[in-house]
Amino acid sequence: MLAAACLVASLKALAQQELVIFKGDKPSDTGLILSGWGSGDIRESGEAVYIGSTSLQVVTQSFYQGGRIALQQPISLGHFASDPHAYLLFQVRLPRGTGSLYTGGYGRGAGMGMGLPPGMGAPGMPSTGRLGGAATGAGRAAGRAGGMIGGMTGPPTGPGVGAPPGMGGGVPGAPGVGTGRRTGGVTGGVPGMPGMPGMPGYGGYRGGYTAPTMTTRVMKQMRVVVVTADGKQYEAVAPFDPPITDQEGWFPIGIALGAFKGLSPDAKIKEIRVFGDAYGVFYVGEIRVATDPTPITGDAGEEQIVAANDLVRLEARASAGITPLKYSWDFDASDGIQEDAIGKVVTTRYRKPGEYIVTLTVTDVFGLKKPFVATTKVTVNE
């Protein structure tokens, strides 16, 4: 009897350590309803799976356009709502090189193909329409392909004969590729309007998205909005901070429940909305509420000996469980501790020979855990 009682107590304690919202099952089987928010979108996907058989693919365009996860049965946070070590935890994956989905430009540049009237015998001006991108994306919308350059007048053909009118403003955009929920699979751009004598031609209009590339802006932050059963909304922001070396590409983003200011201890979550801070795609493999009291620990790296004006590379090593961290550096303690640089890896140069004490301060971005401070030394020779 005593053994059975201990087992029940252990299971209860384990159950209190986390609250699962999504764990890779089909959303329809677990009472989750997916829908886009604004011009964003969210759908189940088998392309990248963290656990179970599916993940949630989020197409975001900004902090206010992304995905919406509604819970048919609102979940009570229970004791987690008042626990300073409780986090809303997401397992996230960014596709390689992900960033802006818009690598092609608009194809709306107006063509200035001004056909001159007969008798003028002079060439018109060329157009200025800009080249759009190729429609190569897959997902909610197809490729964003604009028109090419606008109309251009022909050459003069002699005295008394004017230049012909400007030719068509823009060519059609490239065909879209994809099976998007709304606009995928349609042509990328709309053909430009033909030029008229003395009037400008116009380039084609944009289509949908292009595929993520290494040249686009990478998402740096994730915004999460929690909606409770009483209709109130609470929001918080956390950094996308993937590990430098990670084979699978998945990494945790933990948002302290305390960061959702004003969240009631008896709150019941009925909806979660997720967004990125740039045009892009990311996958969510798991969502749960968990506790993590792990303190911040780490170091500022080994001591270094360099020559004056050499580039000095400093790399922080720190951890705090699922807590997102901020790394602040002071390069010379002799003039007081200041924030000379921010980041896990930073560089600097020392102009004068001497010994310099470098101070690393690692803090919880939500300000709930005690900061960690470490130092290292850089010796600069002539």
Maximum distance among all Cα pairs of the chain, rounded to whole angstroms = 112
Give the per-residue pLDDT at 79.
85
User: What pLDDT shows up at residue 78?
Assistant: 86
- The three-state DSSP-derived secondary structure of the chain is CHHHHHHHHHHHHHHCCEEEEECCCCHHHCCEEEEEECCCEEEEECCCCCCCCCEEEEEECECCEEEEEEEEEEEECHHHHHCCCEEEEEEEECCCCCCCCCCCECCCCEECCCECCCCCCCCCCCCCCCCECCCCCCCCCCCCCCCCCCCCCCCCCCCCCCCCCCCECCCCCCECCCCCCCCCCCECCECCCECEECECEECCECCCCCCCCCCCCCCCEEEEEEEECCCCEEEEEEECCCCCCCCCCEEEEEEEHHHCCCCCCCCEEEEEEEEECCCEEEEEEEEEEEECCCCCEEECCCCEEEECCCEEEEECEEEECECCEEEEEECCHHHCCCCCEECCEEEEECCCCEEEEEEEEEEECCCCCCCEEEEEEEEEEC
pTM across the whole model:
0.64
Tokens encoding 56? 């949630």
Give residue-wise pLDDT tens across range 114-130: 333 433 333 334 333 33
Instruction: List Cβ neighbours of 5 (8 Å cut-off, separation of 6 or more).
Output: none
Phi, psi of 157 (to 5 degrees): -120, 15
For residue 17, what pLDDT is reported?
67
Phi, psi of 79 (to 5 degrees): -70, -15
Q: Over range 307-335, report the average pLDDT.
A: 95
Q: Which positions ≥6 away from 318 have C-beta within 8 Å?
A: 296, 297, 298, 299, 325, 327, 360, 362, 372
pLDDT category at 45 given cuts 50, 70, 90 is very high
Higher pLDDT pick, 225 / 218 = 225
Q: What is the mean pLDDT of residues 205-209?
A: 38
pLDDT of residue 246: 54
| CA–CA distance, 93 with 348 (Å, rounded to integer) | 32
Q: How far is the C-alpha of 280 from the C-alpha of 105, rounded, in Å?
A: 16
Residue 213's pLDDT is what? 39
Give the pLDDT mean for 237-247: 73
Residue 92 clears pLDDT 90, i.e. is over it: yes
Round to whole Å and give the CA distance between 84 and 21. Answer: 20
| Summary mean pLDDT of the chain | 73
> What pLDDT is attached to residue 110?
34
Q: Looking at 5-19, 77-91, 258-272, which range is the least confident one?
A: 5-19
* pLDDT band with cut points at 50, 70 and 90 for residue 169: very low
Lowest mean pLDDT among 18-27, 188-197, 335-344: 188-197
- Lowest average pLDDT, out of 141-145, 226-230, 233-237, goes to 141-145
Percentage of the chain exceeding pLDDT 90: 53
CA distance 210 to 158: 46
Q: How confident is the model at residue 266 (pLDDT cuts 50, 70, 90)?
A: confident
Map out the domains of the chain with their CATH numbers.
11-100+214-291 (2.60.120.430), 297-381 (2.60.40.10)
